[in-house]
Amino acid sequence: MIKPWALTICALLPLCPPPAQAAKKMNVVFLDICSARADHFGTYGYKRNTTPNIDSLGKRAAVFENAVSEGSWCLPGYASLLTGHVPEVHGLYTNLPAKKLPPFESTLAQELGGAGYRTALFSGGVYLIPEWGLTRGFDEYNNTFSSATADRTPAPFENNLAATLSWMKKNKEQPFFLFATIDNLHVPYQSADPDIYDRGYEGVVHSSDVLTVPFARVHNGEFEGRENMRADVEEFKSDPRHLKHMTAHYDAALKGVDRLIGNFVKKLREMGLEENTVLIISADHGEMLGEKGLLNNTQSLYEPVSHVPLIVRNPAIPESSGKRFKQLVQRIDLMPTILDMAGVSKYGLGLQGHSFVPLLKDPASPWREYAFARNRRSIPYREGDSMIEERIARDKCWKLHHYIYKPKWELYNLCSDPNETKDLAKARPDVVARLAFQLVKNMEETRPHQPGPPTGMARPVIEASDEPRN
């Protein structure tokens, strides 16, 4: 026991050692690439050289090989990331009618801000404008999306890159959380050289209507109308070279995103931030490029949509560098993981995911056997209560699909059939029954059984302004 007089003497003598300083908190940077399917990244096995910078980063980071999106579109994906709850809880599940994040939710930005972090959100997409409530808790907010653009095209990351870097430089002396969405990969697949992988093509993909969400909806048979697109849809379907060129546009946009991320990481290093910053690269959902006869992400939870990249570099956990993880990781796992990395309590939040920090430290740590995703959207331009409702349950190899608008289950063995080409539901009713039980069990465990916050949220609710803090 230290005597009081000893403390007094130390206070007067310069030779006494200074008290131990608390470890500096790690910064957290999250780059979320909208519409990024994992299988078009080199680090996930793609042969076309689309992602050399991200692949290089992956060699110094943890790469999760089986990360699962929350659903097939942006709003529930962002909301689940920023709340740690499934869509049935946070309620941002459908876009018609528009909803707002409920008052009982506390966002990742609010929790980190309350622990002394500076927080910033930079985006170019419609689902991160303040009307949805997801800007809650961010000190700095910048969204370059404009509703005046044709078919509500998201703004590319180039529009935000300088401001993002400037904000980091300004706040680098204190711990910060930066969340930035990269929207270049959303249709129309924006890049400086869209034909880089398919020179000389002249065809319907170059029509201004084709690389749009409405075109994908007509192509996928979601609704009647848009008669002006019928001819383009028929032309597109008439020759496989059109889909090939659309895929080339997608890959060109991904290559452009990779260049931007490479520049971002270089600037991070030049600012002296690389070794005290957790860098996470992931995606809210992927993109269909003709699989199952579908385009874009307007429906389905097949692998091109549900299998997303997840690359995590945490210098504070050097043993995770260069490791690859096969465990099933979900979108709702990211908030508890980030809070753990930042040393911030999760008490009273009722989080429904799990921190994978123990996995980063020891890949043999216990982990879940099953993963789930869900998707529910209203179908525009159809009368009545028309909904797309979809759910999946999967384990290491098997993946079960339940679509409310289809008459049967679908079952695929991803270990032998990663492209989901052979439906084995009739051949393996035992696997269907097992995964169907897990799907229903998960629905019952995660959805609220009465109005209000989920079980486990113990703290008193404090009404907060939806406006970003300045």
Q: What is the mean pLDDT of the chain?
A: 90
Mean pLDDT value across residues 248-253: 98
Q: What is the pLDDT of residues 150-204, one digit of tens each?
A: 667 899 999 999 999 999 999 999 999 999 999 999 999 999 999 999 999 999 9
Mean pLDDT value across residues 430-458: 87
Q: Which residues are CB-neighbours of 126 under 8 A, at least 6 positions away?
A: 74, 145, 147, 152, 154
Mean pLDDT value across residues 401-408: 90
- Strand pairing report for 62-68 and 410-413: unpaired
Is pLDDT above 60 for 19? no
Nearest alpha carbon to residue 374 among 77, 34, 36, 67: 77
The whole-angstrom separation of Cα 398 and Cα 451 is 34
Confidence (pLDDT) at 460: 60
Give the count of beta carbons closer than 10 Å to the beta carbon of residue 431. 19
Is pLDDT above 80 for 451? no
Mean pLDDT value across residues 442-470: 69
The whole-angstrom separation of Cα 337 and Cα 10 is 40
Give the count of beta carbons closer than 10 Å to the beta carbon of residue 448. 14
Instruction: Say which amino acid occupies 222.
Output: E
Mean pLDDT value across residues 394-420: 96
Q: What is the pLDDT of residues 344-392, one digit of tens each?
A: 999 999 999 999 999 999 999 999 999 999 987 765 545 545 567 899 9
Confidence (pLDDT) at 18: 43
- Strand pairing report for 27-33 and 310-313: unpaired
Backbone phi and psi for residue 363, each to the nearest 5 degrees, phi listed first: -60, -15
The whole-angstrom separation of Cα 283 and Cα 35 is 7
CA quadruple 150, 154, 157, 161: dihedral sign: positive
Is pLDDT above 80 for 17? no
Q: What is the pLDDT of residues 315-330, one digit of tens each?
A: 999 999 999 999 999 9
Please indicate whether residue 357 or residue 465 has the higher confidence score (pLDDT): 357
The whole-angstrom separation of Cα 158 and Cα 105 is 31
CA quadruple 355, 357, 362, 363: dihedral sign: positive
Output the pTM of the full model: 0.90
Contact between 394 and 435 (Cβ < 8 Å):
yes
Q: Which residues are CB-neighbours of 194 under 8 A, at least 6 positions away?
A: 248, 249, 252, 253
> What confidence category does residue 8 fall into, taking pLDDT thresholds of 50, 70 and 90?
very low
Contact between 56 and 322 (Cβ < 8 Å):
no
Contact between 71 and 87 (Cβ < 8 Å):
yes
CA quadruple 186, 135, 451, 386: dihedral sign: negative
Q: What is the pLDDT of residues 79-110, one digit of tens each?
A: 999 999 999 899 898 766 667 999 999 999 99
Is pLDDT above 60 for 121? yes
Give the count of beta carbons closer than 10 Å to the beta carbon of residue 226. 16
Residues forming a β-bridge with 179: 30, 121
> What confidence category does residue 439 fall into, taking pLDDT thresholds of 50, 70 and 90?
very high
Mean pLDDT value across residues 65-73: 95
Q: Which domains does the chain have, with CATH numbers?
A: 27-446 (3.40.720.10)
The number of angstroms, rounded, from the C-alpha of 158 to the middle of its chain's C-alpha atoms is 19
Confidence (pLDDT) at 375: 85
Rounded to a whole number of angstroms, the CA Rg of the chain reads 23
The whole-angstrom separation of Cα 64 and Cα 97 is 35
Q: What is the pLDDT of residues 124-157, one digit of tens each?
A: 999 999 999 999 999 999 999 876 666 678 999 9
Confidence (pLDDT) at 222: 76
Is pLDDT above 50 for 299? yes
The whole-angstrom separation of Cα 48 and Cα 196 is 12
- Locus of tokens 């018609």: 96
The whole-angstrom separation of Cα 209 and Cα 338 is 40
- Locus of tokens 């994978």: 356
Q: Which of 10-14, 72-76, 423-427, 452-456 has the highest mean pLDDT?
A: 423-427
